[in-house]
Amino acid sequence: MGSVNHRSSRSLLSPAQNPACTRAHQITALALVAVTFILTRAFDRLSCSSSSSFNPSSSSSLSPPPLFDRGILRWPNRGFGSALALKIYVYSEEEIDGLALLMRGREGKISADDCLKGQWGTQVKIHQLLLKSKFRTLKKKEADFFFVPSYVKCVRMMGGLNDKEINQTYVKVLGQMPYFRLSGGSNHVFVFPSGAGAHLFRSWATFLNRSIILTPEGDRTDKRDVSSYNTWKDIIIPGNVDDGMTTFHGSTLVSPIPLSKRKYLANFLGRAQGKVGRLQLVDLSKQYPDKLEAPELKLTGPNKLGRTEYFNHLRNAKFCLAPRGESSWTLRFYESFFVECVPVILSDQVELPFQNVIDYTQISIKWPSTQIGAQLLDYLESIPNEVIEGMIARGRQFRCLWVYAAETEPCSATLGILWELQRKVRQFHQSAETFWLHNRSIVNRDLVEFHQWRTPVPLP
C-alpha cells in the first residue's frame, strides 16, 4: 500500500517542478495554518468576552443580562437543563389530618386572605400558584417534589396555634406521609417566610434536616446556635412586596420620581426596634436632616404611615438604606427596586435570592454595618448621578424576579423558584429507613414493600 501511495503522489508532480520550491510551499502552508489557528482562538476568546453578562467595571453598561432573552426569563443551562421539566405534588388539607390546622388554626377561622399580606404572604402565594401550575401532578408516583402547604406563621401571629401546638401538629402531619418517610423528606418542600425560618417548627432539626426549605432568611447563627438554613439544599426566596407596587399590568400605587427631583440623598423607613444599626441611622438623620430621612415609624395611632404614603416617602431618595432588624433580611431591599432607588444593604449576614444568576454588585451596594456614620453619607454623595441611573436601570430589569406572579408571565419569582427546584431533582431518593432488593422493590426495616406501608408511618 505504501508503494502505491508513493507512486500516486509522485505522478502528481510535473517533470519541471522544483522539489526545493515544493518544500518552501509546504512550510508556508504550515505557517498559514498555524496563524489561522491562533487568530481563530483569539477571535473566539473575544467573542466569548463580548457575549458575557454585565462588565462589573463598567457601571454604565445597560445591555440586557443573559438571564433575559427579549424580556423573557431564560435560566442558564448550567446544571438546570434547557427547559423546565418537573412535576410537583401538592398535598391537600383533606388527605392529611392536621394540615388544616396549620392553614386555618384550631378553630378554622383564619382564611387564606387573612394571611396573604405581610411577611407571611409568600406561604399563601406560593401554595396558590402551585395549585394552578402546569407542573403540578396529581400522581404521587411521578412527582419529583411534594409541596406541604402551611400558613403557620400567620396562624401563630393571629393566635390560631401556639408553639407547642404547631410542633405537635407538624409531627402528626409528617407521620401520615409515606413518601416523606421514603425519601427522608429530601423531596418535600416547605415555606417558612419570616425571620424565624423553620424554627417555627421546634423539631425541624429532627424532621426537616433533609427537606427543602423556601425562606427569605439565611444564616441565623447570630441569634441561634444552629441555623435552619442550608446553602446547598434550601432556597432563598424574595420577600413579599405589596401587590400594589409589583403589578405587571396597570398602574402602581406610586410612580418613581426623577432622580434630580428627589429630596433626600438616602432614607430609612422602618422601626428602630432597639437595634444598633437602626438607632444609628435615626441619630444620623438628626445630624444631617437634609441628606437622610429616617423617621421613627409608628405601626398604630394617628402617626401611622399608610401604604401609599409609605411608598411616597421611600421613592424620594436616591438610596434606600436596608439595615437588619430582628433578623438579617429586610423587605426594604426588595421594595427599593419598585420605587427605583438603589438599595444599600446594612446587614452583614444577609442572604439574597438567586445568587447563582444575579450579580448583586451591579444593582445594589453592601456597606459594613459597623461603619454606619457620616462616612457612609459622604460615600453615597460621591457617586455620580449617571452611575446611580445605571444601577437603577439594571435593577429595573431584575425586579420581575421579586414578583409572585403566575408562571405564564415571562419573568417572576415563581419561575425563579421552579428553576431552582429543578436543579434539585433527583432520580433516586433514599433514607436511613429505606432499603431495596434485587427486583427493585423498596422495603422498610421490616422488609415490608413500600406499596404496603400504612399510615401513620413511624418517624425518628
The DSSP line for 303-330 is: TPPPHHHHHHHHTTEEEEEEE--SSS--
Q: In sequence order, what E strands does 192-339 have?
A: 212-215, 235-236, 264-267, 292-293, 317-323
| 324 and 445 assigned to the same domain | no
CATH code of residue 359: 3.40.50.2000
The pLDDT assigned to 40 comes to 53
* Closest C-alpha among 15, 242, 229 to residue 122: 242
Tell me whether residue 445 is in a domain. Answer: yes
| 249 and 360 assigned to the same domain | yes
The pLDDT assigned to 144 comes to 97
Specify whether the backbone of 436 is left (phi greater than 0), alpha (psi in -120 to 50) or beta. Answer: beta
Q: Kindly state the cell numbers that stand for 151.
A: 400558613
Tell me whether residue 208 is in a domain. Answer: yes
Strand order in the sheet with 235-236: 88-90, 145-147, 188-191, 212-215, 235-236
CA 116/CA 136 separation, integer angstroms: 21
Confidence class for position 24, pLDDT limits 50, 70, 90: low
Tell me whether residue 448 is in a domain. Answer: yes
Q: What pLDDT digit, counting tens, does each position of 414-460 carry?
A: 999 999 999 999 989 889 989 999 999 999 999 999 999 999 998 87
**Which three-class secondary structure state does DSSP give residue 337?**
helix
- pLDDT at position 4 over 70: no
Average pLDDT over residues 82-111: 95
| 218 and 253 assigned to the same domain | no
Residues in the chain: 460
The pLDDT assigned to 68 comes to 86
Domain total in the chain: 2
What is the percentage of the chain residues whose pLDDT exceeds 70? 84
Cross-strand partners of 212: 189
| 333 and 359 assigned to the same domain | yes
> How far, in Å, are 13, 96, 271, 342 from residue 301 at the CA level?
102, 42, 14, 30
| 249 and 236 assigned to the same domain | no
Q: Cβ distance 267 to 292 under 8 Å?
A: yes
Q: In sequence order, what E strands does 212-305 have?
A: 212-215, 235-236, 264-267, 292-293
| 231 and 134 assigned to the same domain | yes
Q: Kindly state the cell numbers that stand for 450.
A: 413500600
| 232 and 255 assigned to the same domain | no
Instruction: Provide the b/e sequence for 375-402 (b: ≥16 CB within 10 Å).
Output: ebbeebeebeeeebbbbbebbebbbbbb
Tell me whether residue 2 is in a domain. Answer: no
| 322 and 368 assigned to the same domain | yes
Please give the residue range of the domain that contains residue 307: 245-403
The pLDDT assigned to 6 comes to 41
| 226 and 282 assigned to the same domain | no
Q: What is the mean pLDDT of the chain?
A: 86
* Closest C-alpha among 275, 372, 397 to residue 321: 372
Confidence class for position 271, pLDDT limits 50, 70, 90: confident
Tell me whether residue 52 is in a domain. Answer: no
Tell me whether residue 353 is in a domain. Answer: yes
The contacts of residue 40 (CB under 8 Å, 6+ apart) are none
The contacts of residue 51 (CB under 8 Å, 6+ apart) are 66
- DSSP string of 7-54, one letter each residue: HHHHHTS-TT--HHHHHHHHHHHHHHHHHHHHHHHHHHHHHHHHTSS-
Provide the terminal-to-terminal Cα distance of the chain, rounded to the nearest Å: 75
Tell me whether residue 231 is in a domain. Answer: yes
**Which three-class secondary structure state does DSSP give residue 118?**
coil
- DSSP string of 355-377, one letter each residue: TTT--GGGT-EE--GGG-SHHHH
Q: What is the DSSP letter of 280?
A: H
- pLDDT at position 98 over 80: yes
| 180 and 318 assigned to the same domain | no
The pLDDT assigned to 56 comes to 36
Cross-strand partners of 436: 442
Q: What pLDDT digit, counting tens, does each position of 117-145 carry?
A: 887 899 999 999 999 999 999 999 999 99
The contacts of residue 341 (CB under 8 Å, 6+ apart) are 262, 267, 314, 315, 317, 318, 319, 320, 392
CA 438/CA 460 separation, integer angstroms: 27
> How far, in Å, are 235, 298, 308 from residue 354 at the CA level?
8, 33, 29
CA 310/CA 257 separation, integer angstroms: 14
| 329 and 391 assigned to the same domain | yes
Average pLDDT over residues 228-256: 90
Average pLDDT over residues 49-70: 50
| 252 and 234 assigned to the same domain | no
The pLDDT assigned to 295 comes to 85
The pLDDT assigned to 77 comes to 79
Query: Is the four-CA dihedral 72, 73, 76, 79 of positive or negative sign?
Result: negative
Tell me whether residue 6 is in a domain. Answer: no
The pLDDT assigned to 223 comes to 64
